[in-house]
Amino acid sequence: NAGVTQTPKFRVLKTGQSMTLLCAQDMNHEYMYWYRQDPGMGLRLIHYSVGEGTTAKGEVPDGYNVSRLKKQNFLLGLESAAPSQTSVYFCASSTRTGGPEAFFGQGTRLTVV
Amino acid sequence: AQSVTQLGSHVSVSEGALVLLRCNYSSSVPPYLFWYVQYPNQGLQLLLKYTSAATLVKGINGFEAEFKKSETSFHLTKPSAHMSDAAEYFCAVSERQAGTALIFGKGTTLSVSS
């Protein structure tokens, strides 16, 4: 029973490098989210998706892109990493209606040097 | 736009004391409300949620929260703190219409001393 799986769990990037974070869920959820967590800032929404093929911007979308080509996967891309993107990234998924509980992955700790 | 405010970034209690973590929301209509807990180096786990039934919601580990529309609040309480309750707690809100996202507050770190 995997739930929400994030890959990788840790990564160190040099400024200007690119990378993709993968989120996979096996609960057939419609909604998927990417958040970043920074000390004192809580979880801030980067992008989210309400279904396959759709994406929407959250609170802090600049410097990130996302894609939802398959219902079970939600990819977060950094085209040119900056030190300000050093953070812990969490993916989550939820059902469409009914007071949706979001299920979270274990997080990806990204350091940009 | 929906938002949540958690009053107090850090709360300290003694073991056995009452835990009270405050959350106020901003929304045009009563939204869905949630409390999540995060233990060190882990993801978030749902404690409880308010959807539209009883205004007093009971969750896991002895926690409960009361939805008060007049005060736009959803404070989290536990009658007697345990050492194992030490963690970070997040209040979150989601509007009821489809297509809206889950928005989190900045979190409150709970410390429990013996």
Which residue of A4, A48, A104 to mutate against B (max B Cβ within 10 Å)? A104
- What is the band of B111 on the pLDDT scale with cuts at 50, 70, 90? very high
User: Which pLDDT does position B100 carry in this prediction?
Assistant: 76
pLDDT tens column, A17-49: 999 999 999 999 999 999 999 988 899 999 999
Alpha-carbon Rg for chain B in angstroms: 14
Name residue A19's beta-bridge partners. Answer: A78
- What is the C-alpha separation between A52 and A72, in angstroms, rounded? 8
* Residue owning tokens 């209040």: B91
Is residue B96 over pLDDT 80? no
Residues above pLDDT 70, as percent of chain B: 97
Residue bearing the bigger pLDDT, B98 or A28: A28
pLDDT given at position A35 = 96
Query: Residues A49, A68: contact at Cβ < 8 Å?
Result: yes
Please write the tens of the pLDDT for every residue from A60-80. Answer: 999 999 999 999 999 999 999
Q: With an 8 Å Cβ cutoff, are A102 and B52 in contact?
A: no
pLDDT higher than threshold 90 for residue B31: no
Instruction: Report cis status (omega within 30 of 0) of the bond before A61.
Output: no
CA distance A1 to A87: 27
- Name the closest residue on chain A to residue B51, using Cα atoms: A99
